[in-house]
């Protein structure tokens, strides 16, 4: 398995990161995509990557909830980091109107700038969106006909949004939410083909059942994989194979 979205460089893991990494390996997680949030997380992420260089990759971007009036400086830093060639994706980027809509227009501007960067550097997008599918699809429409590709991380939309994302060339990132009792995600997924999915944790957030409420970690992703297998009535091994292949192709991970 490949955990395509993780923040295990965070201070939540400072006490036991080695143990978390070994547990991941033991659970069958062969590699982990470290995803940036804002200008304060870059150094930590790079440090974690250098310690676990054989099994981690990095994505660089400015998260929508970190966008404020001064976002231009953050974007300049993101661009100069991307230019180094050390990154496999632009992320996480997107539009989030769940917590706060104050910076909606700036979020859209920052997102579209980072879509341009993904096209300029030929890298896939890791998209975060919450309560903003309409705005997000409107932004993507501006780039129609260009080489858009990537993943809707922690996909939380309905069947129409899922189909639209896939038709635009994106994968759906599936994490712990699919295991929650009140989640509509299993029903949405069951109406799709299982071949456009990626596994992810979003650690430390969104732990799958039976770890819900605790700090998440890559080893727990097996519970997500098993749930997807049951939704599609296929084997866990088949889910491993399909999602790993998808992640390798999207992020060009062959080595």
Instruction: Scan residues 98-137 and list those touching Zn ion (CB under 5 A).
Output: none
Q: Which is nearer to Zn ion, 124 or 232 (CB)?
A: 124
Least distance (Å) from Zn ion to the CB of residue 35? 5
Pattern 62-91, binding to Zn ion, x per CB under 5 A? Answer: ------------------------------
Site for Zn ion in 198-237 (CB under 5 A): 202
The token duo for 24 is: 């991941």
Euclidean distance between the first and the last CA atom of the chain, given in angstroms as a whole number: 15
Q: Which residues ranging from 13 to 72 are in contact with Zn ion (CB under 5 A)? A: none
Shorter beta-carbon distance to Zn ion: residue 66 or 232: 66
CA distances from 15 to 9, 100, 219 (A): 11, 33, 17
With H, G, I as helix, E, B as strand and everything else as coil, classify residue 159: helix
Which of 225, 214, 202, 212 is CA-nearest to residue 34? Answer: 202
Q: Minimum distance from CB of 206 to Zn ion (Å)?
A: 9
**CA–CA separation, 46 and 107 (whole Å):** 25
Contacts of 80 (CB under 8 A, 6+ apart): none
Q: Segment contacting Zn ion (CB under 5 A): 49-57, 197-205, 230-238, 244-252?
A: 197-205
Residues 171-190 that bind Zn ion (CB under 5 A): none
Residues at the site binding Zn ion, with contacts judged by CB under 5 A: 202
């Amino acid at each position: 398995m490949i955990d395509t979205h993780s923040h295990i460089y965070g201070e939540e893991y400072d006490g036991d990161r080695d143990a978390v990494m070994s547990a991941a390996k033991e659970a069958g997680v062969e590699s982990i995509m470290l995803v940036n949030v804002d200008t304060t997380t870059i150094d930590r992420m790079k440090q974690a990557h250098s310690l676990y260089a054989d099994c981690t990759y990095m994505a660089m971007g400015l998260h929508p909830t970190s966008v404020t009036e001064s976002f231009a400086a953050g974007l300049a830093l993101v661009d100069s980091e991307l230019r180094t060639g050390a990154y496999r994706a632009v992320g996480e980027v997107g539009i989030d109107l769940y917590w706060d809509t104050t910076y909606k227009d700036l979020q859209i501007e920052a997102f579209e700038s980072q879509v341009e960067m993904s096209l300029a550097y030929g890298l896939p997008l890791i998209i975060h969106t919450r309560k903003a599918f309409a705005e997000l699809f409107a932004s993507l429409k501006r780039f129609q006909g260009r080489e858009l590709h990537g993943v809707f991380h922690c996909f939380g939309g309905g069947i129409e949004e899922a189909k639209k994302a896939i038709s635009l060339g994106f994968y759906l990132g599936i994490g712990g939410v699919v295991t929650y009792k009140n989640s509509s995600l299993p029903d949405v997924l069951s109406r799709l083909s299982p071949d456009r999915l990626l596994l992810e944790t979003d650690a430390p957030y969104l732990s799958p059942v039976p770890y819900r409420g605790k700090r998440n970690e890559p080893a727990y992703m097996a519970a997500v994989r098993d749930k997807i297998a049951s939704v599609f009535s296929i084997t866990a091994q088949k889910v491993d194979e399909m999602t790993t292949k998808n992640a390798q192709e999207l992020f060009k991970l062959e080595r």
